[in-house]
Structure 1
């Protein structure tokens, strides 16, 4: 009886093996995969968001990508859902080569990807002369510190220290759960006076010496942009970045703190394709539709290694609110948010990948998706 059951099992296994890949995932015929995915990779999924394509479309094979590998990856993401990816846009060689939407979402919370966009706005504000430069002292923008008890080292802190998260403030954002009031990020968000909460923190280390993840520093950047330009950060972004990139502004929102300032380190919501436009801007030295929106010099500085973050789990090198990493021989510029919001820029491959996910853990990131995409390039 046991022997008969074993033979039946072997026969069934032999029938199944031809359709199972070496990685344990089912390998389907490419045409079948495309047919199954078609409802999730078409313009219909974007109608509700009223998002238009901004580049010509091309098939992955037209830009040297292995379609079978690429579509099998998307098929696995959709039907097995290992990362809860809800949308993805891939740009390569000035073409839109793939887009995927699990649902008809108008916008996505970008979490800490917001930091990279705030830094981008800082670059524009400096370029247009609202701010002297990254070496300007932040106390120039906070006259209220005269009525606060602040660390003497505060007068040494510059905008560049905020951009690189090296201001030296005492700050604990990662070692304490976000749902506890002792987490500095949470306390800052719930404070009636976030400016005072951040600026009255002790400065434990000499500014510029060591890196510490600090969303409060990113928030100060947003406040400085508003105070320097006379426009709230969202209005400045709409005029100087979002509208020039052709974004549908009904898909963009940005909450404020209790003092009325837009959060500089989180909260921005936008469509995945609009996130891809930010990456495309960096990929093309700040040019979009023949117009210089962001200076190429700023992009070079923002995406150069300014600090080392050895305690960060996934990436170690940091620029101006961007992570800098590599895969194989390729440099990768990364804007990363909790729960899987990711913007990957790979200059040597002329490629941008924008991903929005709803991961269960803030400590995860779908970096393996990027590596699979890079590996698909023939």
Structure 2
């Protein structure tokens, strides 16, 4: 289980400097304040005490959580913003690479396509792929298997993703279709990068529209997230990366968490069905700590969610870009920043434990101190496999036929990072150029 849990949350989470924010909210039958979500830029606020959280205890969490690696921190209860980090004013509107949180966003977009009847969870992906792309075994992989990271395709987490850092990939869809199949689908959980790239393409084919355009119209726009706010990277064939490289402002990032908290409802609009999100956040047979590209608090997964109830879920990204969502508590905690791999490994546990202790209504059990868990070596074949990197350049047994560094599938390739706007780099977007994405 330790091995599975470690892969389920790449580089895990941290909560940073929390500060109280007071405001106006609405009374409710439970005696606590409740707020309405807003597609605008200024959320409703409340004091911790107004939503059943001890202000003094939260202040202790604030003191404990002071850490310079966090760029942005936001804590909500009952849709009310109750705590923020000291740098939120300057970082809230700056797009930041959400890394593997991108996977959860792809799952949400896929859910909208499922709700619209354009995609079936048990559809073989070959139903939506162009004729001739991939062999029979790959085309028989189902949408569900891609969502649950149980496609059976070989994985090499770091080696698959390294070429995406500067977007050298000729065609991530072709790369996915060339990854050897090692297991029967639906039986073994493996943290695949290429499988999620493939899923984004399958959704695009199913809806008959560019993936990003579909996501903008059906997910982002209803939340008040403008196309000019963010950047979502593409490979050299124009395919949207699904595994990472959604550069999203933290003030927009947290809205996605609030949408999941509301079971897909945003005000009076149901953006994603509650039925789909229930499936997406339920443990799966291949991995009880994983749903549809969400980390979930299934049996044996409690160390990932110290002090939080069984319905806690997480959108988790490298370098600790995370949002924790606990519907039964009305709680959303999000943070972004840069954390050195291996640094402060107990930090997420310690801060979440301290935050849970601040709850007055309900009282939460103390999970106890952090217990070290076995990590996975970077030399593990599931992490590093040069074959997966070489395949991106048309070299070796995992290269897709006819896909190399200059052309792929008979089409010329664009230059690397050609679609990056001014001011954008691998970690985020900054600057005053009018074309630089961000909340202005």
TM-score when normalising by structure 2: 0.66
Distance 1:247 1:338, change over 3 A: same
Task: Give the whole-Å Cα distance in 2 for the aligned partners of 1:52 and 1:362.
Answer: 35
Other structure's SS at 1:277 match: helix
Partner of 1:134: 121
Counterparts of residues 42-121 of structure 1 (less than 5 Å): 52-54=41-43, 56-78=44-66, 80-81=67-68, 84-102=69-87, 104-105=90-91, 106-121=94-109
Q: Is 1:160 matched up with 2:144?
A: yes
SS in 2 for 1:342: strand
Partner of 2:375: none
The CA RMSD over aligned residues, in Å, is 2.6
The partner residue of 2:329 within 337, 344, 349 is 349
Moved more, 260-269 or 324-333: 324-333
**1:191-340 to 2 correspondence within 5 Å?**
191-309=169-287, 317-325=289-297, 326=302, 327-328=306-307, 330-331=309-310, 332-340=312-320
Q: Equivalent residue for 2:356?
A: 374
CA distance 1:184–1:249, change in 2 (3 Å):
closer
TM-score by length of 1: 0.76
Partner residue of 1:186 out of 146, 149, 162: 162
Hey, what's the Cα distance between the residues in 1 that align with 2:320 and 2:156? 22
| Contact 2:172–2:198 (CA under 8 A) maintained in structure 1 | no
8 Å CA contact retained: 1:302, 1:320 = yes
Ranges in structure 2 where 5+ consecutive residues have no aligned partner = 1-16, 24-38, 361-440
Equivalent-residue separation in structure 2 for 1:268 and 1:324 (angstroms): 22
Q: Is the 8 A contact 1:308 1:317 kept in 2?
A: no
The 1:172–1:65 alpha-carbon spacing in structure 2 relative to 1, beyond 3 Å, is: same
Secondary structure, counterpart of 1:257 in structure 2: coil
Contact 1:51 1:273 in 2 (8 A): no
* 1:164–1:319 Cα contact (<8 Å) kept: yes
Residue 12 of structure 1: aligned partner: none
User: Aligned partners of 1:329 and 1:226: how far apart in 2?
Assistant: 36
Q: Which has the higher contact order (CA 8 A, sep 6+)?
A: 2
User: Partners of 1:307 and 1:292 in 2: how far apart?
Assistant: 28
1:308 CA drift (Å): 4.2
Q: Note if contact 1:156-1:207 (Cα within 8 Å) is conserved in structure 2.
A: no
CA shift for structure 1 position 57: 0.8
Aligned residue pair count: 314
Q: Trace 1:163-178 onto structure 2 (pairs within 5 A).
A: 163-173=147-157, 178=158
**Worse-matched range after superposition: 259-268 or 231-240:** 231-240
Q: Relative to 1, partners in 2 of residues 1:367 and 1:341: Cα closer, same or farther, differing over 3 Å?
A: farther
1:215/1:42 CA distance change after superposition, 3 Å: farther
Q: CA deviation at 1:140?
A: 2.0
Q: Is the 8 A contact 1:90 1:354 kept in 2?
A: yes
How far has the Cα of 1:263 moved from its partner?
0.6
Structure having the larger proportion of residues in helix? 1
1-structure distance, mates of 2:181, 2:334: 36
Contact 1:112–1:265 under 8 Å retained in 2:
yes
CA distance in 1 between counterparts of 2:291 and 2:183 reads 19
